Chain A
Amino acid sequence: MDNLKVSISRQLMRYVLLSWIALIFIFPLIFMIVSSLKPDLQLLRDSSSFRAFLPVGDISFNNYIEAFDRAPIFLFIGNSIFITATTIILSMFACSLAAFSFVFLEWKGKGVILSIILSTLIVPFEAIAIPLLLIVNFLPWVSVDGISIGWLNSYQVQIIPFIADAITIYLFVQYFKDLPKELVEAAHVDGASWFRIYSKIILPLSGPIFATAAILKFLAMYNNQFLWPIMVAQEEQFRPVMVGLLYFFQLNVAWGEVMAYLSIITIPVLAFYISMQKAFVASVANTGIKG
């Protein structure tokens, strides 16, 4: 009986602790959404009390209406979704293929090349931004109008440089290493080509790591695309959501509108995470216990 009491109280403490942690994580979100519904004056007045987290007082959707007036939000969200989705699709394909080659194919120097790729992890993007800008400024592009030079003010300049990255390749390499090598050998004996082995055997078994890599890529692309688009996308039609935030910091800053804008652009992130959550958790839970 005593044991039962101990186990119930332990369980209770665990839930209290977890709920507390969950609240800490969710409070900023609540603050953002609640603030987006308040006029600026009330927002600032409430911010020093617990009322900041409660939808009380003069509540309305005025900030949202103002936000839509101030910036072409749908264009920015559309741009961000297009840039992010295209990068994710191309990145998953390119990085998983690269990792497949590193893990399953035998070729000279692959260890050195993988080390070089991984070493790029320590180089911050800010360090390569200017050289990268110079490079993309001189790259050719084929379009319906013929060949043009320079990628500035385009979607491809915000997509192609981010397709391959060391973290994603590393994630795939680690996951593929844990897959039984016999599956590849069996497929080899069965007459499958390398690409068939990749597409018919490895790909279907790698759902969780694709989900993890896609989520990480999504967050990196959607949330952090700020410095680079400012440098390469001067025209409004190519700007992503993070650059759109600047529209709200010109002259008088209306915090309610900022919160409304942030609430709107958070929706795709939440939708994406919720749709991938199962696979993401499975991938994290599976790490190290693959049988």
Chain B
Amino acid sequence: MANVKLTDIYKKYGTTEVVHGVNLSIHSGEFVVFVGPSGCGKSTLLRMVAGLEEITSGTIEIGDEIVNDIVPAERGVAMVFQSYALYPHMTVFENMAFGLKMAKVKKPEIEKRVHEAAEVLQISSYLDRLPKQLSGGQRQRVAIGRAIVRNPKVFLFDEPLSNLDAALRVQTRIEIAKLHSQLSATMIYVTHDQVEAMTLADKIVVLNKGIIEQVGSPIELYNSPKNKFVAEFIGSPKMNIIELEGNDKVSINNLQIPTHTSKIGVRPEHISLADNSSSMLSGTIRHIENLGEHLLCYINTVSTQEITAKIDVKSKVDLNQSVYLNWNPEFSHYFNSNDQTIK
């Protein structure tokens, strides 16, 4: 377990700067998730912590030691790759033992540590198999096992679940969460899946175009996004943004709107059907998705802005039906013309 501290981290590829001065403090034992759209720099940041990518400027500290010039193996980190990166010609045991062999750990100790990790991950019966003889989920567990045996200060996960099918992803997600509580290790996890971020993280770091947009607990980001980007990125389906300015502006009734508000954000799950008198907004249903437990209605407002509403499955709604909508004003998010949240 160790703290990780990133100070003024910049990364340039040639003349293109991809990370623009990141500052971040990760406490010992914390599970931190980097989220953001493709190309936002989250994997680059993780790889810089691992030592696989050089930093252009700034400092990275792991456990109070500056590791800028230290090779990956000596940083006390272990990494789980998206593609598992298991050595295809080695058995599961050899894969897990490789790092320990490189560190010249004695044979009995290697055996002990590999078997312990295999037990935790329930892969003891596969130790003699080659990676190609394993399923995707089993391979991912071996990759995690390879990280565990090294007893690292920091675990790094680079989109470890993206190659798994939906069911296995949920299962492995739960296993990773359990593992974190068992090991109490510092973990940094990169994903573009915000459900993974919300369910696993103690702290989420939302990145966009090489800068940190916001750092906070999942609930903090969900309830109090700092700006429109975070508001839209966290939550599924994403938050509705209603434009109050421009040609296709929407007029909203029955709501006290702060001055300088340019857009209002409201999450689909907070919108409900209402009668005409109490409604804030009206529109026509253009598409309905029945997800079993609820309906997702895609509604076009008079000014053609699209609103998504997550409503009760028993609601009687039809395509092209005119509907009135409202929500608890407490759940409104107000953004100024710079897309920053108005407090």
Interface set of A (CB-CB < 8 Å, partner B): 180, 182-183, 185-192, 196, 200-201, 204-205
In the A-B complex, list the 9 residue pairs whose CB atoms are closest, starting with the nearest. Answer: A191-B73, A190-B99, A182-B85, A191-B102, A186-B85, A204-B89, A189-B72, A182-B81, A189-B79
Chain A positions within 8 Å of B87 at CB level: 183, 186-187, 201
Looking at B50, B51, B72, B146, which has the most chain A CB atoms within 10 Å of its CB?
Answer: B72
Given known pairs A188-B73, A189-B73, A190-B102, the reply for A182 and B88 (CB within 8 Å) is no
B84 to chain A, nearest CB (A): 8
13 more A-B contacts (CB under 8 A) besides A182-B82, A183-B85?
A185-B81, A185-B85, A186-B86, A186-B87, A186-B146, A188-B73, A189-B77, A189-B78, A189-B99, A190-B98, A190-B150, A191-B72, A196-B102
Which residues of chain B are within 8 angstroms of A190 by Cβ–Cβ distance? 73, 98-99, 102, 146, 150
Shortest distance between the CB of B16 and any CB in chain A (Å): 17
B170 within 8 A of A: no
A-B contact pairs, 30 of them (CB 8 A): A180-B83, A180-B85, A182-B85, A183-B85, A183-B87, A185-B52, A185-B79, A185-B85, A186-B79, A186-B81, A186-B86, A186-B87, A186-B146, A188-B51, A188-B71, A188-B72, A189-B50, A189-B51, A189-B52, A189-B72, A190-B99, A190-B146, A190-B150, A191-B99, A191-B103, A192-B98, A196-B102, A201-B87, A204-B89, A205-B89
Q: Cα distance A6–B185 when bound, in Å?
A: 65
**A196 nearest in chain B by CB position:** B102
Taking the closest CB of chain A, its distance from the CB of B231, in whole angstroms, is 34
Q: For the complex, give the distance between the alpha carbons of A167 and B229 in Å.
A: 52
Which residues of chain B from 20 to 71 have any CB-CB distance to chain A below 8 Å in the complex?
50-52, 71
| Chain A residues whose CB sits within 8 angstroms of the CB of B78 once the complex forms | 189
Neighbouring B residues of A183 by C-beta, 8 Å: 85, 87
User: Inside 8 A of B71's CB, which chain A residues have their CB?
Assistant: 188
Return the chain B residue nearest A181 by Cβ.
B85
Interface size class on chain B is 20 to 34
- Minimum Cβ distance to chain A for residue B141 (Å): 15
With contacts A182-B85, A185-B52 taken as known, whether A192 is within 8 angstroms of B102 at the C-beta atoms is yes
CB of A230 to closest CB in B, whole Å: 44
Chain A residue numbers with a CB within 8 Å of B146 are 186, 190
CA of A196 to CA of B101, assembled, Å: 11
Instruction: Please classify the interface of chain A as helix (H, G, I), strand (E, B), loop, or mixed, using the class held by over half of its residues.
Output: helix
In the assembled complex, the CB of B336 is this many whole angstroms from the nearest CB of chain A, namely 43
Contact of B88 among A192, A196, A205 (CB under 8 A): A205
CB-defined contacts of A196 to chain B, threshold 8 Å: 102
Bitwise, B148-166 to A at CB < 8 A (1) or not (0) is: 0010000000000000000
Identify the closest chain A residue to B72 (Cβ): A189
- Of A182, A187, A204, the contact of B98 (CB 8 Å cutoff): A187
Within the complex, the shortest CB–CB distance from A187 to chain B, in Å, comes to 7
- In the assembled complex, which residues on chain A have CB atoms less than 8 Å from the CB atom of B52? 185, 188-189
Q: Which residues of A contact B51 (CB under 8 A)?
A: 188-189
List the B residue with the shortest CB-CB distance to A191. Answer: B73
Query: What is the CA–CA distance of A188 and B73 in the complex, to the nearest angstrom?
Result: 7
Tell me the smallest distance from the CB of B73 to a CB of chain A, in Å: 3
Nearest chain B CB to A109 CB, angstrom units: 15
Cα distance, A17 to B116, chains bound together (Å): 60
Q: In the complex, what distance in Å separates the CA atom of A190 from the CA atom of B78?
A: 8
Most buried by B among A190, A201, A205: A190
Cα(A32)–Cα(B13), bound, Å: 61
How far is B52's CA from A188's CA once the two chains are assembled, in angstroms? Answer: 8
A189 vs B89: C-alpha distance when bound (angstroms): 18
- Chain B's closest residue to A203 (CB) is B89
Bound-complex Cα distance A187 to B102 (A) = 9
Instruction: Please encode chain B, from 267 to 278, with 1 for each CB lying within 8 Å of some chain A CB and 0 for all others.
Output: 000000000000
Residue ID in chain B nearest A106 by CB atoms: B54
Residues of A contacting B81 in the complex (Cβ-Cβ under 8 angstroms): 182, 185-186
Residues of B within 8 A of A200 (CB): 98
A22–B74 alpha-carbon span in the complex (Å): 58
Of B73, B78, B146, which is in contact with the most chain A CB atoms at under 10 Å from its CB? B73
Min CB distance, B118 to chain A, in Å? Answer: 17
Min C-beta distance of A57 to chain B, whole Å: 55
Residues of B within 8 Å of A191, CB to CB, are: 72-74, 99, 102-103
In the bound complex, what is the Cα–Cα distance between A190 and B102 (angstroms)? 7
Question: Who on chain B is nearest to A180 by CB?
Answer: B83
Quote the shortest CB–CB distance from B215 to chain A (angstroms): 26
B-chain residues with CB within 8 Å of residue A201 when the two chains form the complex: 87
Tell me the minimal C-beta distance from A231 to chain B in angstroms: 44
Residues of A within 8 A of B79 (CB): 185-186, 189
Closest to A190 in B: B99
Specify the chain A residue showing the minimal Cβ separation from B81: A182
Chain A residue contacts of B85, Cβ below 8 A = 180, 182-183, 185-186
- Nearest CB on B from A206, distance (A): 10
Residues of B within 8 A of A180 (CB): 83, 85
User: Roughly how many angstroms separate A287 CA and B85 CA in the complex, as a whole number?
Assistant: 21
- Residues on B with C-beta less than 8 A from A188 are 51-52, 71-73
Determine whether the beta carbon of B83 is less than 8 Å from that of A182: yes
CA distance A189 to B74 in the complex (A): 8
* Bitwise interface map of B from 286 to 321 toward A, beta carbon under 8 Å scored 1, else 0: 000000000000000000000000000000000000
Q: Which residue of A lies closest to B53 (CB)?
A: A185
| Complex Cα spacing A200 to B86, Å | 13
Q: Which residues of chain B (84-138) have a CB below 8 Å from chain A?
A: 85-89, 98-99, 102-103
Closest chain B residue to A192, Cβ basis: B102
Nearest chain-B residue to A184 (Cβ)? B85
